[in-house]
């Protein structure tokens, strides 16, 4: 948890990895954008700096790269989920896209943000 924020924001109807993978590319993009935007909006209510960092992580493409770091990390996490599912270690119907996004945010964005915050005494 960073700055008193627990990331638990998920839409009313969460999307499983299986549902996501069975959707068309256009639907996948729309659903991921909607989930990211909801997270960014919800986080902005309690931590605007973190919200901006999350937004930029998914929407700002650094010079010399073809995609934003968050998009790359999300793809890598989905690949890891698929590999674990193929080994029978998890169920694609029980893993939610929003959870995958939140894992990426916790691992990549929140840890970096926490490292930049001065310790409170």
Residue-wise pLDDT tens digits, 55-91: 999 999 999 999 999 999 999 999 999 999 999 999 9
Task: Please tell me the distance from the alpha carbon of residue 28 to that of residue 78, in angstroms, as a whole number.
Answer: 12
Please, which pLDDT band fits residue 9 given cuts at 50, 70 and 90? very low
**What pLDDT is recorded for position 5?**
40
User: Residue 120 has which token pair?
Assistant: 């409170």
Query: pTM higher than 0.75, yes or no?
Result: yes
Nearest 5°: phi and psi at 2? -115, 130
């Amino acid at each position: 948890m960073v700055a008193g924020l627990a990331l638990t924001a998920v839409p009313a109807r969460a999307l499983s990895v299986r549902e996501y993978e069975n959707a068309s590319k256009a639907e996948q993009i729309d659903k991921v954008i909607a989930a990211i935007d909801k997270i960014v909006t919800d986080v902005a209510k309690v931590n605007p700096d973190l919200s901006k960092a999350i937004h930029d992580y998914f929407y700002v493409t650094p010079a010399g790269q073809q995609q934003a770091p968050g998009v790359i990390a999300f793809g890598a996490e989905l690949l890891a989920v698929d590999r674990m599912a193929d080994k029978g270690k998890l169920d694609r119907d029980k893993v939610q896209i929003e959870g995958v996004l939140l894992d990426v945010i916790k691992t990549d964005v929140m840890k970096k943000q926490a490292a930049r915050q001065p310790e409170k005494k």
